[in-house]
Copies of this chain bind each other. A is one copy, B any other.
C-alpha cells in the first residue's frame, strides 16, 4: 500500500530530478523529452507516461519552488511594517534562490519558461504580490524599478558559475545587495 504509493511517486521524482539536471545544463528550451529519457535509460514513452505534456513536466518541476515562494509571501504579508515586511520577503527570496541555485537562474531567464508560467494561475498572482511588497517601500516608478532590479539581479546571479563561494556566503551577499538596492536597513534581530 504505502510502499506502492511511495514507489509510484519515487519513479516520478526520478524524472523530475533528471529534468532539473538537464535544465540547468541546457536550459529548458534546450532540453528535449528524448534527452530526459536517454539520461534515465528509458524511452520517451516513459516520460509521457508520467507527464502528459512538456508543459506539465515543467510545472511539476517548479511546483516545490512555487510552494516555497507562497509560504514566504504569506509569511511576509502577515507583517505590518513595510520595511520589515519587505526585508522578510527578501530574505525568503534569497533563501529560495540559493536553495534552488542553478535551476532558478535558468528558469527566470528562459523566455519559453516565462511564457508558460505567465499563464500559470497561481504563480502569476504570487509574482505580483511579491513585487508589490518590495515596491511599496518607495512610492512611484522608482520603487517599482528597484524592486525589479533587486529580484532579477538576485535570481540571475544565483548561477555563480565563476564565483566560488559556499551557499551561506552567497546568501549573505545577495541579501546585502538586495537591501542596498531597495534601501533597507538590516533589522535588529531578536534582541
User: For residue A27, which residues in chain B have a CB less than 8 angstroms away from its CB?
Assistant: 111-112
Instruction: Point out the residue from B111, B148, B149 that lies within 8 Å of A30, measured CB to CB.
Output: B111
Instruction: Point out the residue from B142, B165, B169, B176 that lies within 8 Å of A176, measured CB to CB.
Output: B142
Inter-chain contact B149/A157, CB cutoff 8 Å: yes
Closest residue of chain B to A146 (Cβ to Cβ) is B177
Interface residues of A in 37-96 (CB under 8 A from B): none
| Cα(A99)–Cα(B87), bound, Å | 32
Inter-chain contact B142/A149, CB cutoff 8 Å: no
User: For residue A106, which residues in chain B have a CB less than 8 angstroms away from its CB?
Assistant: 111
**Chain A residues touching B, majority SS:** helix
Task: State how many angstroms separate the Cβ of A56 from the closest Cβ of chain B.
Answer: 15
Q: Is A122 an interface residue (CB 8 A)?
A: no
User: For residue A180, which residues in chain B have a CB less than 8 angstroms away from its CB?
Assistant: 146, 180-183
User: For residue A30, which residues in chain B have a CB less than 8 angstroms away from its CB?
Assistant: 111-112
Chain B proximity mask over A1-36: 1 for CB below 8 Å, otherwise 0: 000000000000000000000000011011000000
